[in-house]
Amino acid sequence: MSEPTENMTPPPPPSGLPSAEERQWAMFAHLSAIIAALIGLSFLGPLVIWLIKKDSSPFVDDQGKEALNFNITVGIAMLALWILTLVTFFIGGFLTFPLMFVIGVAALVFVVIAAIKSNEGQAYRYPFAIRLVK
């Protein structure tokens, strides 16, 4: 018979690879933007997760900042389009509303890709993000 082991926790991952918990939190940092977007503040979800987990994991810190920067960039673009719409008394809406839709769909696609990559343990970089939080 084999002797029971005292420590039943799984062994740590090889050095350099994030643990399953770190990958999960990084994925949540990306996906939380979708939920926060329902109230119009897509940066709020990644901000909360990044603030909570940034000191406990370098991988979550990196991916949280990446998700935060991307969603701030998307928010700035959407705000600029809304201002253009209002300044033109909604005549600019013929241009800005389709652009908002395209930006929204692209952001959704990039967030899903980022969540999948971070869950696989790969650091993802959004193609269009202003790096405000370093």
Q: What is the mean pLDDT of each run of 10 residues along the chain (134 residues)?
A: 49 69 96 92 94 95 97 96 96 95 96 97 94 92
The model's pTM is 0.85
pLDDT score, position 16: 72
pLDDT score, position 10: 45
With 0-12 / 13-18 / 19 or more C-beta atoms within 10 angstroms meaning exposed / middle / buried, residue 132 is: exposed
Q: Which residues contact 40 (CB under 8 A, 6 or more apart)?
A: none
pLDDT score, position 40: 85
pLDDT score, position 96: 96
* Pick from 124, 30, 134, 115: nearest CA to 74: 30
